[in-house]
Chain A
Amino acid sequence: KQEVTQIPAALSVPEGENLVLNCSFTDSAIYNLQWFRQDPGKGLTSLLLIQSSQREQTSGRLNASLDKSSGRSTLYIAASQPGDSATYLCAVPDMRFGAGTRLTVKP
């Protein structure tokens, strides 16, 4: 059974810091991994999707990496802003989500 773990559960940083969110999964036989953002009271917003053939994906200040052999993915956020405050979730097929990391960026 696939298990997805995200560390840390919560993170608070001052504005401008670079930060890394971690996601680990137990079954490395995945064909993609997806990072989501969730704002309170809203659904999930997809941030980055990494196919198993890729090692990383970038979108603006976000960079996600995938290491299938070690069962890990990281989401790197550069120059964090208060607007980045949200819960970040990773997910692998089929519909296996981590519990999320709640990020707070303080002005």
Chain B
Amino acid sequence: SQTIHQWPATLVQPVGSPLSLECTVEGTSNPNLYWYRQAAGRGLQLLFYSVGIGQISSEVPQNLSASRPQDRQFILSSKKLLLSDSGFYLCAWGTGRGTDTQYFGPGTRLTVL
């Protein structure tokens, strides 16, 4: 069966510090991978998606970047965090076929102070 992992579960970082959130998927190959953010008072927003190693598409301009160094690994990064980067970050994977049901990881709660 497929599983998706995210870490850390919670993170408190000062403004201006770097960020690295990791997501890994098990039990499937060549998945589509997604990063979402849910900010306080807002809905879910797609940040990045990837259809393969080294292939990253950005949905919104922002202070963040994403990388996919391996087939089942997706990393969300920032060189300098802003207060507005606070939120709940979700990684998801999908088959990329048909309706592409997405399966979400447990999420990372990021607080930037």
Contact = CB atoms under 8 A, between A and B. Distances in A.
Interface of A: 32, 34, 36, 38, 40-46, 49, 51, 87, 91, 95, 100, 102
B44 A36 contact: yes
Contact of B42 (A36, A49, A100): A49
A95 B104 CA distance: 9
Classify the secondary structure of B's interface with A: strand
Given A41-B51, A42-B49, A34 B98 contact: no
A95 B36 CA distance: 11
Given A40-B97, A43-B94, A45-B59, 9 more contacts: A36-B44, A38-B100, A41-B32, A41-B97, A42-B100, A44-B44, A46-B43, A95-B104, A100-B99
B102 A44 contact: yes
Of the listed residues A38, A45, A95, the one surrounded by the most CB atoms of chain B closer than 10 A to its CB is: A95
A100 B34 CA distance: 18
Contact of A43 (B42, B59, B97, B99): B59
B96 interface: yes
Contact of B99 (A34, A45, A87): A87
Of the listed residues A36, A45, A46, the one surrounded by the most CB atoms of chain B closer than 10 A to its CB is: A46
Contacts of B92: 43
A38 B34 CA distance: 13
B59 to A, nearest CB: 7
Contacts of B100: 38, 40-42
A34 B43 contact: yes
